[in-house]
Amino acid sequence: MKKKRVPSGVGPQTGKLWAGRFTERTHELVEAFTSSLAVDRRLYAHDIEGSIAHAKTLERARVLSRRETAAILRGLATVRAELDKGRFPFVPQDEDIHMAIERRLTELIGSVGGKLHTGRSRNDQVALDLRLYLRQELGRLIERATRLQQSLIGQARAHRDVAMPGYTHLQRAQPVLFAHHLLAYVEMLERDKGRLRDALTRTNVMPLGSGALAGSNYPVDRAYTAKLLGFPRVTENSLDAVSDRDCAVEALAALSLIMMHLSRLSEELVLWSSQEFRFVDLPDGFCTGSSMMPQKKNPDVPELVRGKTGRVYGHLLGLLTTLKGLPLSYNRDLQEDKEALFDALDTVSASVDVLAELLKGLMVNRKALAESVESGYLLATELADYLVTKGLPFRQAHAVTGRIVRACVEGDRDLRDLTVADLRTFSDRFQKDALAVITVDGALRRKAQVGGTAPQRVAARIREWERALR
Amino acid sequence: MKKKRVPSGVGPQTGKLWAGRFTERTHELVEAFTSSLAVDRRLYAHDIEGSIAHAKTLERARVLSRRETAAILRGLATVRAELDKGRFPFVPQDEDIHMAIERRLTELIGSVGGKLHTGRSRNDQVALDLRLYLRQELGRLIERATRLQQSLIGQARAHRDVAMPGYTHLQRAQPVLFAHHLLAYVEMLERDKGRLRDALTRTNVMPLGSGALAGSNYPVDRAYTAKLLGFPRVTENSLDAVSDRDCAVEALAALSLIMMHLSRLSEELVLWSSQEFRFVDLPDGFCTGSSMMPQKKNPDVPELVRGKTGRVYGHLLGLLTTLKGLPLSYNRDLQEDKEALFDALDTVSASVDVLAELLKGLMVNRKALAESVESGYLLATELADYLVTKGLPFRQAHAVTGRIVRACVEGDRDLRDLTVADLRTFSDRFQKDALAVITVDGALRRKAQVGGTAPQRVAARIREWERALR
Amino acid sequence: MKKKRVPSGVGPQTGKLWAGRFTERTHELVEAFTSSLAVDRRLYAHDIEGSIAHAKTLERARVLSRRETAAILRGLATVRAELDKGRFPFVPQDEDIHMAIERRLTELIGSVGGKLHTGRSRNDQVALDLRLYLRQELGRLIERATRLQQSLIGQARAHRDVAMPGYTHLQRAQPVLFAHHLLAYVEMLERDKGRLRDALTRTNVMPLGSGALAGSNYPVDRAYTAKLLGFPRVTENSLDAVSDRDCAVEALAALSLIMMHLSRLSEELVLWSSQEFRFVDLPDGFCTGSSMMPQKKNPDVPELVRGKTGRVYGHLLGLLTTLKGLPLSYNRDLQEDKEALFDALDTVSASVDVLAELLKGLMVNRKALAESVESGYLLATELADYLVTKGLPFRQAHAVTGRIVRACVEGDRDLRDLTVADLRTFSDRFQKDALAVITVDGALRRKAQVGGTAPQRVAARIREWERALR
Amino acid sequence: MKKKRVPSGVGPQTGKLWAGRFTERTHELVEAFTSSLAVDRRLYAHDIEGSIAHAKTLERARVLSRRETAAILRGLATVRAELDKGRFPFVPQDEDIHMAIERRLTELIGSVGGKLHTGRSRNDQVALDLRLYLRQELGRLIERATRLQQSLIGQARAHRDVAMPGYTHLQRAQPVLFAHHLLAYVEMLERDKGRLRDALTRTNVMPLGSGALAGSNYPVDRAYTAKLLGFPRVTENSLDAVSDRDCAVEALAALSLIMMHLSRLSEELVLWSSQEFRFVDLPDGFCTGSSMMPQKKNPDVPELVRGKTGRVYGHLLGLLTTLKGLPLSYNRDLQEDKEALFDALDTVSASVDVLAELLKGLMVNRKALAESVESGYLLATELADYLVTKGLPFRQAHAVTGRIVRACVEGDRDLRDLTVADLRTFSDRFQKDALAVITVDGALRRKAQVGGTAPQRVAARIREWERALR
């Protein structure tokens, strides 16, 4: 059997740490096509944190000596400092951040650097890095969402006495408190936080020690690695551990729901700041003008948030598609997880932050709201419920009131223009007290069960939220 | 003010319970376009269950008398029986199951039927029905997933001694136990069940009493309604309660992840039953033939499961898109939630069930697996790790082994064809013990940490699962 | 070699035409899971049309005698009549419409029916049926889209003198003609029709004769089959022909774009019919009421069209996902093409039709539009362009005008409230003619280049469209 | 009316060209959130090309003097040179490439630079730039796809005599030529090119002159602008022109279909290079190794192409979602079009190029293919068709052959192991000539109709392609 003479430790592809088996250099198109460095370099701190824990675990398993471990830890500290300061000497062969760091480590501390990867594969290493990063970002996003809730609650408290038309089908429906409307978004964000927390729990599981797919040939104490890295649990199946991107998909689904909620809030901000609604003014600092039309003050921020919803949905669908039909275990397709996830996290984080800030400066047009709530037959349901209190079954009361409204529409009148006498031409159950009952205030106050828009309810809910989010 | 003379209780649109305000009949194109009856009639039992609880709550709030409540409950029992038996007399004006039931109730018990909708809107009613239905289906799906886990574990136990090539990049990588491979899917399904449970917790919240959007004008005790219907919590904001479809989206995301996992399992079943792999035979009863090629026995079931993955992803994306940018509160767009959700639940339920049954009959080709595991350089990593135990840093050991493999490839030999002398031409660290170390059995046994493929580990994990899923 | 004694012509699975090779009956879960009959039965007429052409082609190739062919054609006519009248006797073993028809044919005409499938596979047969169906539906949809264009043009003509605020960012921007706004959708639909035509051209290719994957063993004249069925071309590669679902995806992409356009039109109809805009009233027959709020008249039709956009996008994504990563040639995953495509075609067809009808009855509120166009600083750009005519570079003219608007906003005034003296405090280039220039009419008339909103331009474009669509 | 004293030509936001109307600076979060410069700077050459044509059009309309035009053109040439050389002095206020260029132009040539934007808005400007860019890239992609076709045809020609098993359901089905299989992808790519050409036709329409939404106040000759820029047509409705992103969506749909095709080819390359199939070897330069397993040579390139399919689908869905429900005309959401489109174009271009190169170096394992085609009952259909030639109806011939295969499977024999006597135990129609007929060569040769796999057909098709693609 003939042995090719090649310099010890390297294949024909200088710089590729896996080159031994290969006889050709990587094609330059392939270098560009397969490199993930531009994307995964943001994982460097987590990669080094993981390597430190791995080195300590190898020491504990007596695979590394104390001296070797110390050298590796010192080297990693240097690499980390270089990366922190933007002075890390990347070379063209660095296909990803993991190999770049190992290469540099070995340059710094010599061949002992080559021992760091003992019992480890990029497959479990990258699974670890992704979980460390995602864990951090999910935690931060929960805090961001809380700040957005606080902005909403701040505005709710400041306008807790302001009524507005509530809408269904974008038609005026019934009066509600402006604060009640804002608190609807606080509820949505609280569910979002619940989903982020659940995703975080399932992310917070330690995969290192799964090797390339089958586990490690060394007696590593994975619980110890987990403890060093602050993971409460370890993965229980090595094949699954390196193939699994559930936590990324679950995060993307939770992020998509957040964007869905923000897109609804944004749609309302766009509507409310139109000349037709005039409910609010956005702060100048959150709007931009037109290159051509000098009068324009455009709600760019909510428009962009609404538009970016598509981007995040796209990432969710993209990753789900990528994962469809892949056999176990690791396949290179999985490299596509990170760009989608990173961009979605960035997008949602920025959207939450910018809306939280915008809402603080939102100016509410009390006059326009007060006028709006007075027209549009918003009190028709009160009228029907009045008839119910006078003994008419609701379905008949609804029909009578419907006819009253029809007559008003045809006569271009509003409900408040009607006299008791007018009402009595439709039903003799109307009494003198009818007009006193059919008011915006009455309508609000009556909706006093849990979840209703009555002022005392909404005030109490504001207090509960303030306490809970403190 | 002139009053149009129309018969009491109905608008010009006979049969529409909201017709009072309208002057034209619904256009026939619109009847067809807006009707949801074909889709939402499957909610009838939940709708009636909700109406019973609503009637009791109205009685408690003294909106209905005891006698009225009793009449309504009797009437609803009759309606339910008619629907159960397929004898419910639908009429063309029935635009959805909710209005159909109320209409029929009033036919059966007279105008008191018109009192049932007091303090309620279709908006909170449909939100309730959806949650009741989804809660039930999520619960059932968790049980179904457990049965699929049990099928996998059954096969794992039956073949717990069988080795197979583990793959990365669909290239043979390292030996693993066939049971270990199957257990990877058990892990995935356990995460899926966790997501279903979390979705169920967020689904299990009672929205009735939110009215159309603002709450109810009646002093209904929503906690009482919730108790009657077995909900631990009530929704806390009426606008949110009628606008919210988070639980449907969250369920669709969880369902998409299940399909993603099933698509991977299906891909493997298709691969494994090919003439190239021959790892398994699918039972005849789960395959179909060709209309033209007499020899064909096709793995239709896993192919269809894999194909249906797209359908479920599509439903997730469809609903997310529908919800994007909707202002509060209810909009008719939301009607599109049910068809997507129902079809996804049906698809995933059927896919889980059919795979659970198929797996029970799966025949494992021990001979083919045994042959496969013997070739393909599966033990190269063992060789490298051997050199590590002899003091070579892993990175150099990897390079040496890579060159050995290259030489074998070029000479068309396998690792087991090498003698110690052959090995020593690559590194003088190879000793006589090398050949004893480099065996499939040794490779498996060494991977004994948590999550590894060592036989004792896998056996323990099988026992743990059997206990946990009992 | 031992031969199992089974009755001639059938396997143990009575009724399965491919059962010879099988030893077990199809599992009942699998019958349900794999059946496509509920979906593909709508293809029956195309299936029979294709079979007639196939029989004639076999006769021409002397595979069938004239008498056999005649018997088959007579039998197919009977089958067709049974299906047309809803009297076709389906049996539980009918897994799809193709096998059902062949089974029934053989019942009717005896064993010669078993000759129809000579040289054909379900793979090329189903590819043919799909193309025949899609070709028909794309053609019909083009006609439907034309009718929607005509409705838009009808309204444009009826209101060709009505100005409205044009919007960017949902902020009032510049005056435009209402007719110009409607014609924007006519342009979109014309592009849609172009895409449908292109999809139709690529659909209109004849796949029969590709067999299961490799071609046919018989000297069939495929050009003759194509001629019989009205196809201008035949497919050129048998493997591709049975694997290809491009035409379905391309159609779904074109359908998604149509829904995107309709969702924008629908959004505008919802906005315009709100109490805030009041630009239009939808006909009563296209709205529905509320079960609880008697005054409501909701724009359900445009809301549902907007909501159904998600469904069509979902189908596009679903089919793309299903096709991803499938090896050649036919895989059972492809069965999932039809339900998505059929539902999307149905949804888009119904949406186009219902909007075409709704638009005919749309009532335009000329008064509200006239008022709206008078406020909101819509003429600021005219002011800037006035300054340009007086020699100021546009960018400076823009800045000056911006400051005028700012002063107006702060003083709660509108542009029309300004005198020439007021204007001259901002720039001494303002002359007496300024006020004459800054009018809605002037603004409209000046935009007279191709594509602009000047009345004469718009009128000409209406005439062009009327001529083109006649 | 009081006038704020601010320096001429700028608002309080120094550097914002639209700042006149604003009283606050843009918030820094908003600067970051809304900036598109990082994305749209790749449009700079097209932006300048468009500005040159706009300046010439303004000159022709006598809005600019000859001297002013000359100054602007000289200035733009300088700007272009600065950008080409990477020396353009960006400043933080540059929110997009369009404003950056105008700002720089004015720095270079003074206030006449402020005249360039006369009669133009960023809305029509950005619509123009996008179309110029997309037109270029679609053209290039068509050429790229042609090169990939040529690679496929090169391999087809080199192996035009090599048979392989054709598959349906990933089960061996019938013999086909390897060249025939490759040519299936050539067909797909030809359809892809057709779609790209159609998208290009609809892209190739000139929008400038549409202004912000309503057209231009200047008598610009849009046909002249179009001619300068090489557009055959101009847009016909200004509102549509600035709102429309159809060409981007249509391109993304065409790109998604290309990726779908490439994902199928990639799946096959992964399968074929597995140890189970061994049909091909990928060139070393297109594979990478494992950090842990020294023997690995992984098909990373096809895996990544397959994985990136999800990314492109995601962009399509993302943009469709972004556009859903937007009212006319321009909304800031539209800014999200470019990143999706650019990344999809980059991804598809790179994927096509790298596969074209990889295929050139593909090594085909003739021995493995020859062995594979000999087993797996690939000739069963030939057997059935043999019986048809002896007068048996096909359906019965299929059943007889099915039973023969079943007997072989049970006896672990292949069809070629059977004697005529064996065959006659199943049907006495088998004659001595049966064995001569049932050969791979015969099977191939018989499929001689258009699109079939017969060697003479495939050779002819190769020649046709070579001629057509020259």
Parallel, antiparallel, or unpaired for β A163-168 and A171-177?
antiparallel
Residue C376, pLDDT > 80, answer no
* Each residue's pLDDT tens digit, D35-47: 899 999 999 999 9
Q: How confident is the model at residue B18 (pLDDT cuts 50, 70, 90)?
A: confident
Q: D289 vs A58, C164, D284, D298, D358, CA distance in Å?
A: 24, 65, 10, 6, 17
Residue C135, pLDDT > 90, answer yes
Rounded CA gap, B172 and C136, in Å? 49
| Structure tokens, D233 | 């047509």
Rounded CA gap, D418 and D403, in Å? 13
Rounded CA gap, A16 and B145, in Å? 44
Q: What angle do CA C41, C42, C47 make, to 5 degrees?
A: 75
Question: What mean pLDDT comes out for the span C408-415?
Answer: 88
What is the rounded average pLDDT for all residues in chain D?
93
> Which residues in B lie closer than 8 A to residue A16 (C-beta atoms)?
none
Question: What mean pLDDT comes out for the span C52-60?
Answer: 98
Q: What is the CA A352 to chain-centroid distance, rounded?
A: 8
Give the residue numbers of A annotated as catalytic, written as ranges.
169, 290
What is the rounded average pLDDT for all residues in chain C?
93
How many CB atoms lie under 10 A from the CB of residue C111? 12
B234 in helix, strand or coil? Answer: strand
Q: Do A304 and D34 touch (CB under 8 A)?
A: yes
Rounded CA gap, B163 and B440, in Å? 8
Under CATH, domain C375-469 is a member of which superfamily?
A: Fumarase/aspartase (C-terminal domain) (1.10.40.30)
First vs last C-alpha separation in chain C: 74
What is the rounded average pLDDT for all residues in chain A?
93
**Of C292, C413, A61, A30, nearest in space to D356 by CA:** A30
C220 vs D: CB within 8 A: yes
> Which residues in C lie closer than 8 A to residue B308 (C-beta atoms)?
322, 336
The residue of chain D with its CA nearest to that of A217 is D292
Q: A270 vs A152, B398, C170, C171, C331, CA distance in Å?
A: 16, 60, 7, 9, 48
Residue B36, pLDDT > 80, answer yes
Q: A392 vs B11, B106, D171, CA distance in Å?
A: 17, 14, 71
Residue A207, pLDDT > 90, answer yes
Q: How many CB contacts within 8 angstroms connect chain A with chain D?
A: 242
D430 vs C: CB within 8 A: no
Q: How confident is the model at residue B4 (pLDDT cuts 50, 70, 90)?
A: very low
The pLDDT of residue B9? 39
Contact C118, D398 (CB under 8 A): no
Rounded CA gap, A179 and A173, in Å? 17
> Which residues in A lie closer than 8 A to residue B330 (C-beta atoms)?
168-169
Cis peptide before B329 (omega within 30 of 0): yes
The pLDDT of residue C93? 83
Rounded CA gap, C394 and A351, in Å? 34
Q: How confident is the model at residue C7 (pLDDT cuts 50, 70, 90)?
A: very low
The pLDDT of residue B454? 97
Q: How confident is the model at residue C8 (pLDDT cuts 50, 70, 90)?
A: very low
DSSP letter at A428?
Answer: T
| Structure tokens, B234 | 């009530």
Rounded CA gap, A379 and A334, in Å? 57
The residue of chain B with its CA nearest to that of D307 is B169
How many CB atoms lie under 10 A from the CB of residue D66? 9
The upper half-sphere exposure of residue C452, i.e. CA atoms within 13 Å in the direction of its Cβ, equals 25
Residue D174, pLDDT > 80, answer yes
The pLDDT of residue A95? 87
The pLDDT of residue B470? 87
Provide the angle, in degrees to the nearest 10, between the axes of the packed helices C246-272 and D300-323: 30
Residue B270, pLDDT > 60, answer yes
Q: Do B290 and D173 touch (CB under 8 A)?
A: yes
**Which of B186-195, B254-263, C89-98 comes out lowest in average pLDDT?**
C89-98
Residue B2, pLDDT > 60, answer no
* Each residue's pLDDT tens digit, C196-214: 999 999 999 999 999 999 9
D336 vs A212, A310, A323: nearest CB: A310
B238 in helix, strand or coil? Answer: helix
Q: What angle do CA C209, C210, C216 make, to 5 degrees?
A: 65
**Which of A52-56, A252-256, B294-298, D136-140 comes out lowest in average pLDDT?**
B294-298
C363 in helix, strand or coil? Answer: strand
Domain ranges of chain A: 25-115, 122-371, 375-469
**What residues contact residue C397 under an 8 Å CB cut-off, 6+ apart?**
C384, C385, C386, C387, C388
**Of B122, C284, B239, nearest in space to A402 by CA:** C284
Q: Do B275 and D172 touch (CB under 8 A)?
A: yes
Contact B220, B209 (CB under 8 A): yes
ipTM of this predicted structure: 0.95
CA distance C438 to chain D (A): 12
The pLDDT of residue C75? 98
The pLDDT of residue C21? 82
Q: Do A294 and D21 touch (CB under 8 A)?
A: yes
CA distance D214 to chain C (A): 6
| Structure tokens, C166 | 């044009």
Q: DSSP for C203-236?
A: H-EE-TT-TTTT--SS---HHHHHHHHT-SEE-S
Q: Do B26 and C309 touch (CB under 8 A)?
A: no
The pLDDT of residue A6? 36
Question: What mean pLDDT comes out for the span D428-455?
Answer: 93
The pLDDT of residue D15? 64
| Structure tokens, D48 | 């300048």
| Structure tokens, B86 | 């397929």
> Which residues in C lie closer than 8 A to residue A327 (C-beta atoms)?
none
Q: How confident is the model at residue A20 (pLDDT cuts 50, 70, 90)?
A: confident
A444 in helix, strand or coil? Answer: helix
Q: Do B399 and D294 touch (CB under 8 A)?
A: yes
A249 vs B257, B400, B461: nearest CB: B257
The pLDDT of residue D7? 37
> Which residues in B lie closer than 8 A to residue C354 (C-beta atoms)?
29-30, 33
How many CB atoms lie under 10 A from the CB of residue A407? 19
Whose tokens are 């057209």? That residue is: D215
Q: DSSP for B61-127?
A: TTSS-HHHHHHHHHHHHHHHHHHHTT-----TT--SHHHHHHHHHHHHHGGGGGGTTTT--HHHHHH
Q: What is the CA A1 to chain-centroid distance, rounded?
A: 59
Write the secondary structure of chain D as one string of H (helix), E (strand) and C (coil): CCCCCCCCCCCCCCCCCCHHHCCCCCCHHHHHHHCCHHHHHHHHHHHHHHHHHHHHHHHHCCCCCHHHHHHHHHHHHHHHHHHHCCCCCCCCCCCCHHHHHHHHHHHHHHHHHHHCCCCCCHHHHHHHHHHHHHHHHHHHHHHHHHHHHHHHHHHHHHCCCCEEEEEECCEEEEEEEHHHHHHHHHHHHHHHHHHHHHHHHHHCEECCCCCCCCCCCCCCCHHHHHHHHCCCEECCCHHHHHHCCHHHHHHHHHHHHHHHHHHHHHHHHHHHCCCCCCCEECCHHHCECCCCCCCCCECHHHHHHHHHHHHHHHHHHHHHHHHCCCCCCCCHHHHHHHHHHHHHHHHHHHHHHHHHHHHHCCEECHHHHHHHCCCCCCCHHHHHHHHHHCCCCHHHHHHHHHHHHHHHHHHCCCHHHCCHHHHHCCCCCCCCCHHHHCCHHHHHHHCCCCCCCCHHHHHHHHHHHHHHHC
Provide Rg for chain A, Cα atoms. 31
B169 vs C: CB within 8 A: no
CA distance D374 to chain C (A): 16
The pLDDT of residue B15? 64
The pLDDT of residue C421? 92
Rounded CA gap, B348 and B338, in Å? 15
Question: What mean pLDDT comes out for the span B322-330?
Answer: 97
The pLDDT of residue B6? 36
Q: Do C294 and A401 touch (CB under 8 A)?
A: yes
* Each residue's pLDDT tens digit, B120-171: 999 999 999 999 999 999 999 999 999 999 999 999 999 999 999 999 999 9
Residue A125, pLDDT > 90, answer yes
The pLDDT of residue B19? 77
* Each residue's pLDDT tens digit, D284-333: 999 988 888 888 999 999 999 999 999 999 999 999 999 999 999 999 99
CA distance A209 to chain B (A): 8
Question: What mean pLDDT comes out for the span C282-300?
Answer: 90
Residue % of chain C over a pLDDT of 70: 97
Which of A:14-53 have CB within 8 Å of B? Answer: 17-23
Provide the angle, in degrees to the nearest 10, between the axes of the packed helices C44-60 and C222-229: 140
Parallel, antiparallel, or unpaired for β A233-234 and A205-206?
parallel
Q: How confident is the model at residue A15 (pLDDT cuts 50, 70, 90)?
A: low
Rounded CA gap, A282 and A286, in Å? 7
CA distance C388 to chain A (A): 12
* Each residue's pLDDT tens digit, B218-250: 999 999 999 999 999 999 999 999 999 999 999
* Each residue's pLDDT tens digit, B161-215: 999 999 999 999 999 999 999 999 999 999 999 999 999 999 999 999 999 999 9
C391 in helix, strand or coil? Answer: coil
Domain D122-371 part of CATH 2.40.37.10: no
Give the residue numbers of B annotated as catalytic, written as ranges.
169, 290
Question: What mean pLDDT comes out for the span D446-461?
Answer: 97
Which of D:234-253 have CB within 8 Å of C? Answer: 234-244, 246, 249-250, 253
The pLDDT of residue C15? 64
Task: Print burial letters for D145-176: b (CB count within 10 Å at least 16), e (below 16).
Answer: bbbbbbbbbbbbbebbebbbbbbbbbbbbbbb
The pLDDT of residue C101? 96
Q: What angle do CA C87, C91, C95 make, to 5 degrees?
A: 115
Identify the CATH number of the domain defined by range A25-115. 1.10.275.10
* Each residue's pLDDT tens digit, A353-362: 999 999 999 9
